[in-house]
Amino acid sequence: MTKWQDKFKDATGPSGGNGRRYNQDGLSEAQWEIVFAVHQRLIDEMDASAIEKLPPNESRDIVEKAARAIIREVAPGVVGVDRDLFVSHVADEVLGLGPIEGMIVDPSISEVMVNAPDNVYYERDGVLYLSNARFRDERHIVRIGERILSPLGRRVDESSPYVDARLADGSRVNIIIPPVAPKSPTITIRKFRTDKYTMGDLMAGGTVTPELSEFLNACVKGRLNTVISGGTGTGKTTLLNAMSAYLPATERIVTIEDPAELRLQQPHVVSLEARPPNLEGKHEVTQRDLVRNTLRMRPDRIIVGEVRGSEAFDMMQAMNTGHEGSMTTVHANSARDALMRVENMILMAGFDLPVRAIREQMASALHIVVHLARFVDGSRKVIGVSEISGMEGQIVTMQDLFRFRHEGVDAEGRVRGQIMPTGIQPRFLERLTEMGVTFASDLFSQVRG
């Protein structure tokens, strides 16, 4: 028996044996070593550049046939499902994203995080899991990163050790290499959802209640300027997409993003996307550039996917000058913190304005803040809706219209509780009535529960 046959014998079978750990595809560490070895032989025997120029289905078919031939030669005892498993992963190494390709094509996985060659996580339903996928070494991670960036005309190297990019399918990728990431190159991919989350989906998942859905519908139709706040991965963009279904089809909507993620459901939508500087550091187009340009495009509403810099000032200006009903998201730990974040963005942009003037503009421009949180069980829920009610001295005042009532955790570890109206009547209620926007239920007559 050759050393190749001996290796295959030890690694045969999706179970792997001997108490080995597995990733979601069932490969053991020994099996990964075989995948890498077959891949290396294919590199030596095939013209990879010619293969990559072929149509995807044709190139994969050629690679799979070559991989089967090698396995039949060196390990004739590996057949059936075992051989198909090896062949599939070898093809992923040659044409796809190697060890993480299976996670990329799995629609139930929302994020993939490569921290080190043997430390790969993925997120499913809001919960992180450690995968048994493994890279050969750090150079292997860099090679997969280069494969991701090459079609985009981007690069990552010593002169440019980190990069943010958007893949062709809309997924977001961040790659960072040593010396900035001293322990190992890392790859983080947030996958783009191809399906459209509706408010019905969010109600079914417990993110919102029917009463809150009714309220948000009224806010959109009543042209209230809305900020959606929350931490990373709390579902801000998902909620914004769902709320967009309430936008009238007769309006011209301009979206501004970095990168583009929104999938609005109206016919008259113009999507704009910020552009990073090129390799020479030139030709950058910022979100602020786009917001200022949008004002010349006759928008009925402006939607900024996420405010994160000086564009916050221009967004406030637009909301105060006839573009009511606009929406945006912001990273923040609470509704109050969301206002502080917007204020700090304006101050850090270098505008020579007193703090009171900035706060007065925010109090005038913004109507409501919808805040989301992700709980320990992975669920994402709206935990508060606050109205911007005005100014008292130097302080922007707010009042809670909805508040999450936490009722503990059940036996299966799921968070129990729901968001309830506080009973406080919003100041904009009369405005909604004048615009013909009414509620099917009386949300604000009394405190619930």
d(CA 141, CA 97): 10
Q: Which residue has the tokens 């304005």?
A: 353
Start-to-end CA distance of the chain, whole Å, equals 74
Q: Which fold has domain 100-193?
A: Beta-Lactamase (3.30.450)
Domain 199-434 CATH superfamily? P-loop containing nucleotide triphosphate hydrolases (3.40.50.300)
Could you tell me if 290 and 260 are in contact, meaning their C-beta atoms sit under 8 angstroms apart? no
Q: Is the dihedral of CA 201, 204, 208, 209 positive or negative?
A: positive
Where along the chain do its domains lie?
1-95, 100-193, 199-434
Predicted TM-score (pTM) above 0.95: no
Could you tell me if 338 and 315 are in contact, meaning their C-beta atoms sit under 8 angstroms apart? no
DSSP E strands in 298-379: the ranges are 301-304, 327-331, 368-374
Q: Which residue has the tokens 């009394």?
A: 446
| Domain 100-193 identical in fold to domain 199-434 | no
Could you list the pLDDT tens digit for every one of the 449 residues in the chain? 444 445 444 444 433 333 323 245 556 777 777 778 888 888 778 776 677 677 777 888 888 888 888 877 776 766 777 778 778 888 888 888 888 988 888 888 989 999 999 999 999 888 889 998 889 899 999 999 998 988 887 888 888 899 888 787 778 899 999 999 999 999 999 987 766 678 999 999 899 999 999 999 999 999 999 999 999 889 998 999 999 999 999 999 999 988 777 888 788 999 998 887 776 778 889 999 999 899 889 999 999 989 988 899 888 888 887 789 999 999 999 999 999 999 999 988 877 889 999 999 999 999 999 999 999 888 999 999 999 999 999 999 999 999 999 888 888 888 889 899 998 989 998 888 888 887 766 777 644 44
DSSP 8-state assignment for residue 20: -
d(CA 441, CA 449): 16
Q: Give the C-alpha distances (Å, rounded to integers) separating 102 from 108, 131, 362, 370.
A: 11, 11, 46, 35
